A and B are shown apart, each in its own frame.
Chain A
Amino acid sequence: MGRQRSLADLSYTLVIGTLALLALLIIVVPVVIVLTTSFTEGRSLKFPPTGFSLQWYAELFDASKSRQIHRAVYNSLEVAAWSTGFGVLLGSLAALGLARSRHKLARVGDSFFMSPLVLPGLTFGLAALMYFTLIGLRPSLNLIIAGHMIVTVPFILRTTTASLSQLDPALNDSSQSLGASWFYTLRRVTLPLIAPGIFAGAFLAFMASIDNVPVSLFLSTARTDMLPIRMWGMMESTLDPRIAAVSGVLIAASFLLMLIMEWTVGLTRRMRD
């Protein structure tokens, strides 16, 4: 009996351990490989890379050779900044409005605002393209900003609502009973306490906008090129080796951002809960 059990436990450790290790490898290895190949001296992206050089990075940062990529990066940053800004404003207002409401409509509103998360993005992207074209709007960054705001605001709404639900309602009541106005209470009591939640949501929304494919695919044009769509173009048909350098930069950037967010608002803790 005892031996049987230890045998079973051994097989458990072996099987679960192997699968978990495989999972870790499959998560980490591709990222490491891309980072290494981006420093290759050769013209193709093989692993192990032949020699060490910064040639693809040099070409990527060359303003005249990679003008299209730079344009796409600026567009993506601009769209992400504006859509996150509008999202924070409208999203946190809506969260404040809905979180304390007991009305049935509040729950309907909440699922309505969350629905872009489950709805296939491509369907919305195509719908937005048809809508904007048929009402006579010409493609522009503004339309992409609007589209991104819709699909990223759920992140802001979710984290802000979570912070609000942890807020002690007594704080609000005591502030108001001490004579503070509704707006003063919002500014001096509620907002400082839910700020980390809003900030975490804004960060997730910003990253989701930078990485958005389905909406940009339909709304961007050659003039309003977005980074993920540009990168897709660099991988289709012939592989443009600069994509490895772009990837390297993005890996470094997300690693840094992740560290910063971890130190400031404890991002992983927020995503786990």
Chain B
Amino acid sequence: MTKAAEWQLALPLALCFVSLFLAPLLLLIGVSFFDDDKITQPGFGQWVKFFGDPFSYKVIADTLLLGVKTVCATVLLGYPLALVYLDAPPRLQKILIFVIVMPLLLSVVVRTFAWIVMLGRDGVVNQLLLSLGIISEPLRLLQTELGLVISLTQIEMPLMLLPLISVMSRLDPNLRDASAALGASRWRTLFTVIVPLSMPGLVAGCLLVFASSTTAFISQTVIGGVRLIYLPLLIWQQSLVVFNWPFAAVASIALLVSVLTVVSALSWLGRRSSGHLQG
């Protein structure tokens, strides 16, 4: 085989992707244009039904908001941890990275289950808050959005930390020393030097956390319960409980489009901010 013909090695995978990935997705779009759940009457009925119902907009908005809240919480806690990692001696860094990567290898279902034990009426969080005297009676945390955001913060945290740490460890340490030598406080160095330079990692982390938390079906249903309805639960109910495939197809296209819109907006911002720095 010559060097020019090497690209042909990608053909088997391309074939698999066309027949097992592209074809199903195109079929999904096709199915959405059928009015009845037997998939015999073509029409726009399901699109009209989905987008004519204010409830659908509420579900979409709730889903996207859940993603935004989780992103904010992971940034608020993850960014400082990444800063500490950056300043830590090598030995401590090794332990920290192990602690950060480990939950990523642990099943999402296990991490979700952990929060059932943590957030229950007599769970660890309530016990702690009661003993500290912050609250006088147990908070209801399971089956609330607050509880779900707390859980997702832990579940998605590694996705925020890995890109952040990857970008931050490549920063020139001299920049921080120079900033300090020129009289900037550590806060000023953080916001004028470190944050702008770590923007690509921050954006990548936000992107991963957003995409993952908005589609975290198991965490959403188990911790959020059935009263908090997000798009994944709606898709599951419509396809595997009600068996209205065309409607489920419309809902899953809505999920795809709304998540991808936010993700591409974020990555556009990321490219813009890194371009700005180099320019």
Which of the 9-residue segments B51-59, B116-124, B131-139, B271-279 touches chain A? Answer: B116-124
User: For the complex, is B60 an interface residue (Cβ under 8 Å from A)?
Assistant: no
Interface-central residue, B14, B107, B118, by most chain A CB under 10 Å: B107
B256 neighbours in A (Cβ, 8 Å): 119-120, 123
Tell me the minimal C-beta distance from A234 to chain B in angstroms. 9
Residue B72, interface by CB 8 Å: no
Q: Is the interface of B mostly helix, strand, loop or mixed?
A: helix
- Assembly CA distance A103 to B6 (angstroms): 11
Q: Is A77 an interface residue (CB 8 A)?
A: no
Tell which of B20-28, B40-48, B171-179 binds the partner. Answer: B20-28
Name the B residues within 8 Å of A27 (CB-CB).
Answer: 99-100, 103, 154, 157-158
Asked if A118 is at the interface of the complex by the 8 Å CB criterion, the answer is yes
Contacts of B31 in A (CB 8 A): 130
Q: Does A28 contact B (CB under 8 A)?
A: yes
Q: Which residue of B lies closest to A273 (CB)?
A: B166
B27 touches A28 (CB 8 A): no
Q: Contact between B6 and A16 (Cβ–Cβ < 8 Å)?
A: no
A203 nearest in chain B by CB position: B105
Nearest neighbor of B215 in chain A, beta-carbon distance? A120
Known A-B contacts A30-B154, A93-B9; A126 and B113 likewise in contact (beta carbons under 8 Å): no
Which residues of chain B from 27 to 71 have a CB within 8 Å of any chain A CB?
27-28, 31, 39
| Inter-subunit contact A9/B186 (CB<8 Å) | yes
B residues near A218, Cβ cutoff 8 Å: 239-240
Which of chain B's residues have a CB closer than 8 A to the CB of A34?
Answer: 110, 113-114, 117
* Chain B residue at minimum C-beta to C-beta distance from A246: B110
Given the known A-B contacts A26-B157, A217-B236, are A150 and B185 also in contact in the complex, defined by CB atoms under 8 Å? no
CB distance from B175 to the nearest CB of A (A): 17
Determine whether the beta carbon of A124 is less than 8 Å from that of B25: yes
- Residue in B closest to A267 when the chains form the complex, CB atoms: B101
* B185→A97 contact, CB < 8 A: no
Q: Which of A53-61, A109-117, A194-202 contacts B (4 or more CB under 8 A)?
A: A109-117
- Chain A interface residue count: which class? 35 or more
CA distance A71 to B43 in the complex (A): 43
- Are B157 and A100 in contact (CB-based, < 8 A)? no
- Which residues of chain A have C-beta atoms less than 8 A from B248's C-beta? 126
* Cβ of B161 to closest chain A Cβ, rounded Å: 8
Chain B 191-222 against A: per-residue CB contact (8 Å), 1 yes, 0 no?
Answer: 00000000000000000000100110110011
Q: Which of A20, A105, A251 contacts B81 (CB 8 A)?
A: A20
Q: Are B245 and A130 touching (Cβ within 8 A)?
A: yes
A208 to chain B, nearest CB (A): 10
Given contacts A16-B83, A26-B153, A235-B116, contact A9 B6 (CB under 8 A): no
Closest to B77 in A: A23
A258 close to B98 (CB less than 8 A): yes
Q: A96-B6, A131-B23, A232-B218 are in contact. Are A120 and B113 (CB under 8 A)?
A: no
Interface residues of B (CB under 8 A from A): 1-3, 6-14, 16-17, 20-21, 23-25, 27-28, 31, 39, 76-81, 83-84, 94, 97-103, 105-118, 122-124, 127, 150, 153-154, 157-158, 162, 165-166, 169, 183, 185-187, 190, 211, 214-215, 217-218, 221-222, 232, 235-236, 239-240, 245, 248-249, 252-253, 255-256, 259-260, 263
A residues sitting closer than 8 Å to B (CB atoms) are 5, 8-9, 11-13, 15-17, 19-20, 22-24, 26-31, 33-34, 37, 45-47, 90-91, 93-94, 96-98, 100-101, 103, 105-106, 109, 112-113, 116, 118-124, 126-132, 134, 146-147, 149-150, 153, 182-183, 207, 210-211, 213-214, 217-218, 227-228, 231-232, 235-236, 239, 243-244, 246-247, 250-251, 254-255, 257-258, 262, 267-268, 271-273
- Other than A9-B186, A247-B110, give 9 A-B pairs with Cβ distance below 8 A: A12-B187, A106-B10, A120-B215, A131-B23, A182-B1, A232-B218, A247-B107, A255-B102, A273-B166
Subset of 27 A-B contacts with CB under 8 Å? A5-B183, A9-B186, A19-B79, A26-B154, A29-B124, A31-B111, A90-B13, A93-B9, A112-B17, A122-B255, A127-B27, A130-B31, A134-B27, A134-B39, A146-B16, A150-B21, A182-B2, A210-B107, A218-B239, A231-B110, A239-B116, A247-B107, A247-B113, A251-B106, A254-B107, A271-B162, A273-B166
